[in-house]
């Protein structure tokens, strides 16, 4: 009984975590580092800083932009939070232009990268839940709309990846997430379905319990993926799912 009470208290504490500034900053750092590691991104940063900055903002706020568009809201609304935009812009500047690449080297160091990635996955839970509840406030019985908006909010930077590439002068339609979903996009879709069912009363679980379970799942799978990817770099998403769920590829 004591263990259950502790888990209950822990789940409530996790569901009450504030995202700004620490978790949002980790999301911005992880997203900007991922952008910098894209082929040609460093060259774009040198020749067209504004294009690089805009691309970084799409990585940081792509989910909010896409979910807002789906609900007929202004696409610039996510950029109206001056504090968040300034923080993301500062992160972008330090990752791309810090002398000796100190910030990028630190963020790319595996232990620090794991911490940042784990914190980003925590923020992903809140983005998915936020998208689902935002859609439910306008379409109470629209389960499909709730799933779509929650999915877009949590994985928007990947779903609009082709547009972000165009900003950098790159066109790779074969990387469309709808054609070949990455693992984060798949687990975000799964989360959107779960939170939609919970919000609609179809899933008999408290919201803070689902937040806790889904967050632990995301963080655990991200850490496991990082270690396994370094030793088994050839695994595709199907093999990775088997490895995570069954223990063997």
Whole-prediction pTM: 0.91
Q: Name the residue among 129, 116, 131 with its Cα closest to residue 66.
A: 131
Q: What is the pLDDT of residue 208?
A: 95
Q: Are the C-beta atoms of residues 249 and 232 closer than 8 Å to each other?
A: yes
Q: Name the residue among 194, 17, 7, 29 with its Cα closest to residue 103.
A: 29
Can you tell me the distance from the alpha carbon of 178 to that of 187, in angstroms, rounded to the nearest whole number? 14
Residue 97, C-beta contacts closer than 8 angstroms, at least 6 positions apart:
45
Q: What is the pLDDT of residue 56?
A: 98
Q: What is the pLDDT of residue 235?
A: 53
Q: What is the pLDDT of residue 237?
A: 54
Q: What is the pLDDT along the chain (249 residues), one digit of tens a residue?
A: 788 888 899 999 999 999 999 999 999 999 999 999 999 999 999 999 999 999 999 999 999 999 999 999 998 898 899 999 999 999 999 999 999 999 999 999 999 999 999 999 999 999 999 999 999 999 999 999 999 999 999 999 999 999 999 999 998 888 899 998 998 999 999 999 999 999 999 999 999 999 999 999 999 998 888 777 655 455 555 555 555 554 544
Q: What is the pLDDT of residue 242?
A: 54
Can you tell me the distance from the alpha carbon of 72 to that of 26, in angstroms, rounded to the nearest whole number? 29
No. of H helices and E strands in the chain?
Answer: 12, 0
Q: What is the pLDDT of residue 246?
A: 46
Q: Name the residue among 147, 143, 225, 223 with its Cα closest to residue 182.
A: 225
Identify the H or E element spanning 241: helix 237-246
Residue 136, C-beta contacts closer than 8 angstroms, at least 6 positions apart:
142, 146, 199, 200
Can you tell me the distance from the alpha carbon of 161 to that of 71, in angstroms, rounded to the nearest whole number? 20
Q: What is the pLDDT of residue 239?
A: 54
Q: What is the pLDDT of residue 115?
A: 96
If DSSP codes are grouped into helix, strand and coil, which group holds residue 39? coil
Half-sphere exposure of 84 (CA within 13 A, CB side): 16
- For the chain, which residues make up each domain, given as ranges? 2-246
């Amino acid at each position: 009984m004591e263990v259950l009470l502790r888990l209950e208290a822990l789940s409530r504490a996790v569901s009450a975590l504030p995202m700004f500034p620490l978790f949002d900053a980790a999301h911005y750092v992880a997203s900007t580092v991922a952008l910098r590691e894209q082929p040609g991104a460093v060259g774009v940063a040198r020749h067209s800083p504004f294009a690089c900055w805009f691309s970084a903002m799409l990585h940081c706020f792509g989910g909010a932009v896409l979910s807002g568009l789906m609900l007929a809201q202004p696409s610039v609304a996510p950029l109206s939070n001056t504090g968040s935009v300034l923080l993301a812009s500062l992160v972008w500047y330090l990752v791309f232009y810090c002398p000796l690449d100190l910030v990028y080297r630190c963020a790319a160091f595996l232990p620090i990268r794991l911490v940042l990635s784990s914190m980003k996955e925590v923020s992903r839970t809140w983005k998915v839940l936020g998208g689902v509840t935002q859609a439910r406030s306008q379409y109470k019985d629209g389960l499909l709309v709730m799933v779509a908006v929650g999915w877009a909010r949590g994985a928007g930077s990947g779903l609009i990846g082709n547009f972000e590439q165009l900003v950098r002068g790159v066109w790779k339609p074969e990387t469309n997430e709808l054609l070949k979903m990455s693992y984060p996009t798949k687990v975000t879709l799964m989360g959107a379905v779960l939170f939609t069912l919970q919000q609609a009363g179809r899933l008999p679980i408290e919201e803070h319990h689902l937040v806790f379970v889904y967050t632990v799942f995301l963080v655990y799978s991200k850490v496991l993926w990082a270690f396994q990817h370094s030793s088994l770099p050839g695994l595709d998403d199907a093999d990775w799912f088997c490895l995570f769920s069954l223990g063997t590829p």
